[in-house]
Chain A
Amino acid sequence: MLYLLRKFALLLLTLFVAATINFFLPRLIPGDAVGAMMAKYQGNLSPQAADALRLAYGLGNEGSAFQEYLKYLVKLLHGDFGRSITQFPTPAADVIAAAAPWTIGLIGVCTLISFLIGSALGLYSAWKGNQRFASALPAIGLFLGALPYFWVGSLLVYVFSLWHNVFPLGGNLDPFIGDSFTPKWWSSMLRHAVLPACSIIITAVGGWLVTMRNNAVSVMGEDYLAFARAKGLSERRILSRYVLRNAMLPSLTGFGIALGFVVGGSILVEQVYSYPGLGYYLFSAVTSKDFPLMQAIFLIISAAVLIANFLVDILYTFLDPRVRTGLGA
């Protein structure tokens, strides 16, 4: 379990680094960025909000930067992410709590689906190497992976909402839907999720496809594969127990990194569909210069990605006996 302990230590360290960056970033910006920011709000900022902002960015001069840093860390540990400026005095944590389930649900499910579809296609491409379709797949994957998520979102909206009125333009639910989790609610939720989900899946599939194809191709060059062939095993068994089982391992170790990219692209999709998740609020925080909210969202996205990554690490220990029995991966 040394492997998982190490991974957990990395998780904590990375969270700590994210929090630290969050604290020091506004203070590192050359020139008086915070002052400029304050100036922008002049007039439409309540005095309390202005005070809070000043405090949050170290203009209160109450103690040394280090003391403030410690205070900030303690606050974070208590779930206090500061207050949103534009929705003052709503705590940023409340905004996040309302938005996060939508993002985690949407991106989580889409990541899973695109991982499965992409990996299946990648495996197929490697296995059927010289057939026309199979050998064209990597290039298709590379093309899909190079599409901007939000642009795919725009196209789908144009085709399926504006041109053919098949799916709603945006939002997460029909208005006045009533209680959550009723059949009516589910159907509305799913109808709203289809287009954003498709935008994410279409783009994310490409990366998994190329990764899995490369892994599988390299596994197919291993001695143990030639040995399996020499043993006269059936193609089916070679594919599932020899190629797939080994080729999926690097996909999983690279999962965290890939997830970061997927999440980065996906949060822009929310903006296209006005889907009220973290990405949408991140965008509105950027346009309204609501820095505390922006930073809180960054932290929470980091935490979510890191935790998902750790879950994959746990899964990994079940699939790779080498880490389970103490030998490094």
Chain B
Amino acid sequence: MSAAASAPRPRLAALGRRPLDALGSLMRRSPKAAAGIVILLVLSLMAISAPLWTSYDPTSLAFKSMLTPSRLHPLGTTFVGQDILSQLLYGARFTMLIGLLTGLIATLIGTAVGISAAYFGGRFDEIVNGIINVVLVLPGFPLLIVAAALLENAGDWAIIIVISLTGWAWGARVLRAQAMTLRRRDFIDAAVSTGEGPGRIIFREMLPNLSGIIAANFFGTALYGVLSESGLKFIGVGDVTQPSWGSMLYWAAGHTALLKGAWWWVMAPGLCIALLGTSFALLNFAIDEIANPKAANAGRLRAARRGKGRVLASQSAAQTLTRPNMKIQPPNPAALLSVRHLTAGYQTPQGPVRAVRNVSLDVMPGEFLGLAGESGCGKSTLAFAATRLLAEPGEVFSGQSVLEGVDLLTLSESELRRRRWKDYSMVFQASMNVLNPVLRVREQLYDAMQAHGVTDKAKLDARARELFGLVGIRESYLDVYPHQLSGGMKQRVVIAIALALEPKLVVLDEPTTALDVVVQRQILEEIQAVRRRLGIGIVMITHDLSLLTEMSDRIAIMYAGEIVEEAPSSVLQSAPLHPYTRRLMTAFPPLGGERTRREGIPGRPPSLALDLTGCPFAERCDSVMPICSLQKPVLSDLSPGHRVACFLHASPEQLTLAKPEVNHVLASD
């Protein structure tokens, strides 16, 4: 098996492999696409079955001039006595053919140009990109008119070619950009390194991944083709004796149909063009939306924020507790933040993903709590859900998150806005992109404070300087834009913003993962210093456990959406109990130690789309026992403050409780 074959091949635009599957999935996923396909089918049927609907020849001059609509001529007749309905039906053939052909040719050119520019790169790409840009800004239609008028005797093919030649550049630009990001992906590199030729790579590896964008572009240029053709015909360029919707409009205008009151002569073909154009535009839009899921997902972001009705806070806690040996725990009144039975995740087309599963966790005032676990085990989801920042398709399914006695998940929008940042703040995981690129750093620091009532300019300025001093940045950096900062600087700015209102709780989601070790160290030391000074509570998330044991008071280990062990930092360091925690400890050697010694944990965490019956770690656990895959170990206290969910450390009571069920299952095997 070659490396190329084993490397995963993501489908950027997963529209299915066979055209019919793709069509079906497209229609199911997007009502817009479904509408576009239906309109297109109806118009195509109309074009194909024209002889069934009318027995007249569209070019025959057999009738009286300018008849009004009647049973014999539902759309009347033209000035020279042609039946308008038959012209409309037969005209559909030509207009649609033009649209499809220009769409096809322009897309072929655009795809070839865009992909080869991206594939070969270098000077070739520069030149091609220059050409694309020139063609793009050159107004196509006036050029089209001149060229088509000069080519008048060359017939419709010439016009199709000319339309395509003015319409390919947009597709080339989009495809070039997409193909370039694709070119940098691993699986293409793998293919190149196994010696696959350019043709094979382009056709086997790249084209399938670009199919969505190519399809979208096809419909976009088909729309351009239809509108261009009708415009050209309307001013009499090209063969206007050939029945098409454009030439109908030409003759209608030439014989002043509207002045004579024959509005249907103008209305019908124009409406048909509009319908055909709309169907192309809908398909272009819908496919594009699916091929760029970012745009599609963000549309639902608002829904999450508004959908507070879905948070079924306390009543639902009971629902998730189906096991008899689990008790509902009330929030801890002494804690700063008390998360109880929180279950959250994502609604996906394949069903819900439960990324956080019945998690209960406390943060005491002024405490530094570490949250560790491999990536993908739900740490960020927990942080977002507990702070009510989870956006669609994310959703809190049940549970409570009580900050100083108030459940954040049931707060009203305005109440929530008041508390955000003032009571708790958060430093996001992907912090490189967290600052607004068009606003100065100062403004982004100010607006957080202004939103919470600090409006005095002098005070704002003084505080801004103070904060920058706190995180170790020169004050002059207040007036730069985010792109002028390095990664480490940006992260410090974000931390400064997070501390601006001296909140009681700061959640840091992998605040330093993207930074190099020295900067990481510095920033973490500053965070520690500030925390000690201000007495704020901190939740720090990372997949690097050794980092946490140095800094935290207490550590919680998360695996597959659940807390599997929780203990004071020193206890966890000296006596980790859960087999997963032990593996994590060896996977990340102490900070500053040999990084090369790092070994991952073999295997992968289970999919969070599944409901797991046994211990989630069973598949990868060295100490796995028969009971482990049959029943879920419960998180229970071993000593004060040390909780673990593993049958190796289960109380005898828990094991006996489990027994009858286990015996039953074993017996039925």
> Contact between B231 and A148 (Cβ–Cβ < 8 Å)?
yes
CB nearest to B231 among chain A residues: A268
Which residues of A265-293 have CB atoms within 8 Å of chain B's CB atoms?
265, 267-268, 271-272, 282-283, 286-287, 289, 291
Contacts of B141 in A (CB 8 A): 260-261, 263-265, 267
> Contact between B142 and A327 (Cβ–Cβ < 8 Å)?
no
Return B435 CB to nearest CB of chain A, in Å. 6
Q: Knowing A148-B231, A246-B437 are in contact, say whether A267-B142 is a contact too (CB < 8 A).
A: yes
Which residues of A166-206 have CB atoms within 8 Å of chain B's CB atoms?
none
> Contact between A10 and B150 (Cβ–Cβ < 8 Å)?
no
Return A211 CB to nearest CB of chain B, in Å. 11
Contacts of A249 in B (CB 8 A): 438
> Contact between B451 and A10 (Cβ–Cβ < 8 Å)?
no
Return A200 CB to nearest CB of chain B, in Å. 14
Which residues of A28-43 have CB atoms within 8 Å of chain B's CB atoms?
29-31, 33, 36
Return A99 CB to nearest CB of chain B, in Å. 13
Q: Knowing A151-B266, A151-B270 are in contact, say whether A157-B146 is a contact too (CB < 8 A).
A: no
> Contact between A321 and B227 (Cβ–Cβ < 8 Å)?
no
The proximity string for B residues 444-459 relative to A, scoring 1 for CB distances below 8 Å and 0 otherwise, is 0001100110000000
Contacts of B430 in A (CB 8 A): 223
* B234 part of interface (Cβ distance < 8 Å): yes
The proximity string for A residues 290-325 relative to B, scoring 1 for CB distances below 8 Å and 0 otherwise, is 010011011001100110010000000001111001
The proximity string for B residues 423-449 relative to A, scoring 1 for CB distances below 8 Å and 0 otherwise, is 001101011011111111001000110
Q: Knowing A231-B420, A257-B170, A295-B146 are in contact, say whether A214-B434 is a contact too (CB < 8 A).
A: no
- Measured in the bound complex, the distance between the Cα atoms of B228 and A250 in whole Å is 25
* A245 part of interface (Cβ distance < 8 Å): yes
Contacts of A108 in B (CB 8 A): none
> Contact between B418 and A232 (Cβ–Cβ < 8 Å)?
yes
* A164 part of interface (Cβ distance < 8 Å): no
* A147 part of interface (Cβ distance < 8 Å): yes
Which residues of B398-437 have CB atoms within 8 Å of chain A's CB atoms?
416-422, 425-426, 428, 430-431, 433-437
- Measured in the bound complex, the distance between the Cα atoms of B418 and A283 in whole Å is 62
CB nearest to B437 among chain A residues: A322
* A127 part of interface (Cβ distance < 8 Å): yes
- Measured in the bound complex, the distance between the Cα atoms of B273 and A147 in whole Å is 7
Q: Knowing A14-B137, A17-B134, A26-B150 are in contact, say whether A148-B447 is a contact too (CB < 8 A).
A: no
**Size bin of chain A's contact surface:** 35 or more
Which residues of A1-58 have CB atoms within 8 Å of chain B's CB atoms?
10, 13-14, 17-18, 21-22, 25-26, 29-31, 33, 36
Q: Knowing A232-B451, A301-B142 are in contact, say whether A224-B285 is a contact too (CB < 8 A).
A: no
Q: Knowing A146-B281, A246-B438, A286-B236 are in contact, say whether A229-B389 is a contact too (CB < 8 A).
A: yes
Contacts of B266 in A (CB 8 A): 151, 154-155, 158
Which residues of B287-324 have CB atoms within 8 Å of chain A's CB atoms?
292, 294-303, 305-306
- Measured in the bound complex, the distance between the Cα atoms of B150 and A219 in whole Å is 45
> Contact between A143 and B447 (Cβ–Cβ < 8 Å)?
no
- Measured in the bound complex, the distance between the Cα atoms of B143 and A257 in whole Å is 14
Q: Which of A61-69, A78-86, A112-120, A233-241 contacts its partner?
A: A233-241
CB nearest to A219 among chain B residues: B298
> Contact between B137 and A305 (Cβ–Cβ < 8 Å)?
yes
Pick the contact of B434 from A33, A147, A221, A223 — CB < 8 Å? Answer: A223
Return A35 CB to nearest CB of chain B, in Å. 11
Contacts of B144 in A (CB 8 A): 264
> Contact between A234 and B417 (Cβ–Cβ < 8 Å)?
yes
* B28 part of interface (Cβ distance < 8 Å): no
Contacts of A259 in B (CB 8 A): 139
Return A308 CB to nearest CB of chain B, in Å. 10
> Contact between B483 and A246 (Cβ–Cβ < 8 Å)?
no
CB nearest to B266 among chain A residues: A154
* B209 part of interface (Cβ distance < 8 Å): no
Pick the contact of B134 from A10, A225, A289 — CB < 8 Å? Answer: A10
- Measured in the bound complex, the distance between the Cα atoms of B497 and A295 in whole Å is 59
> Contact between A217 and B150 (Cβ–Cβ < 8 Å)?
no
Q: Knowing A142-B285, A220-B298, A221-B298 are in contact, say whether A232-B421 is a contact too (CB < 8 A).
A: yes
Pick the contact of A129 from B285, B300, B419 — CB < 8 Å? Answer: B300
Which residues of B263-281 have CB atoms within 8 Å of chain A's CB atoms?
263, 266-267, 270, 273-274, 276-278, 280-281
* B193 part of interface (Cβ distance < 8 Å): no
> Contact between B259 and A162 (Cβ–Cβ < 8 Å)?
yes
Q: Knowing A257-B137, A306-B137 are in contact, say whether A217-B298 is a contact too (CB < 8 A).
A: yes
Most buried by A among B259, B281, B452, B483: B281
> Contact between B145 and A223 (Cβ–Cβ < 8 Å)?
no
* A138 part of interface (Cβ distance < 8 Å): yes
The proximity string for B residues 559-590 relative to A, scoring 1 for CB distances below 8 Å and 0 otherwise, is 00000000000000000000000000000000
> Contact between B145 and A298 (Cβ–Cβ < 8 Å)?
yes
CB nearest to B252 among chain A residues: A154
CB nearest to A17 among chain B residues: B134
> Contact between B451 and A265 (Cβ–Cβ < 8 Å)?
no
Pick the contact of A327 from B133, B138, B223, B483 — CB < 8 Å? Answer: B483
Contacts of B10 in A (CB 8 A): none
Most buried by A among B150, B170, B430, B434: B150
Pick the contact of A146 from B274, B295, B421 — CB < 8 Å? Answer: B274
> Contact between A151 and B137 (Cβ–Cβ < 8 Å)?
no
> Contact between A264 and B231 (Cβ–Cβ < 8 Å)?
yes
17 additional A-B pairs beyond A13-B134, A148-B234, A155-B270, beta carbons within 8 Å, are A17-B138, A33-B151, A130-B306, A148-B231, A151-B274, A157-B258, A158-B266, A218-B295, A221-B294, A221-B298, A230-B389, A241-B439, A260-B141, A264-B139, A268-B234, A295-B146, A301-B142
> What 6 A-B pairs come out closest when comparing CB atoms?
A264-B141, A146-B277, A221-B298, A232-B420, A151-B270, A260-B139
B residues at A contact (CB < 8 Å): 32, 35, 130, 133-134, 136-147, 149-151, 153-154, 170, 223, 227-228, 230-231, 234-237, 249, 253, 258-259, 263, 266-267, 270, 273-274, 276-278, 280-282, 285, 292, 294-303, 305-306, 387, 389, 391, 416-422, 425-426, 428, 430-431, 433-440, 443, 447-448, 451-452, 481, 483-484, 494, 497
A residues at B contact (CB < 8 Å): 10, 13-14, 17-18, 21-22, 25-26, 29-31, 33, 36, 126-130, 138-139, 142-143, 145-151, 154-155, 157-158, 162, 210, 214, 217-234, 237, 241-242, 245-246, 249, 256-257, 259-261, 263-265, 267-268, 271-272, 282-283, 286-287, 289, 291, 294-295, 297-298, 301-302, 305-306, 309, 319-322, 325, 327
Instruction: Identify 25 residue pairs between A and B in the complex whose beta-carbon atoms are under 8 Å apart, listed by A's number.
Output: A126-B299, A129-B300, A129-B301, A143-B274, A143-B281, A146-B278, A146-B280, A147-B270, A148-B227, A151-B266, A210-B285, A217-B298, A221-B294, A223-B433, A224-B434, A230-B428, A264-B140, A264-B228, A271-B234, A283-B235, A298-B142, A301-B142, A321-B438, A322-B481, A325-B483
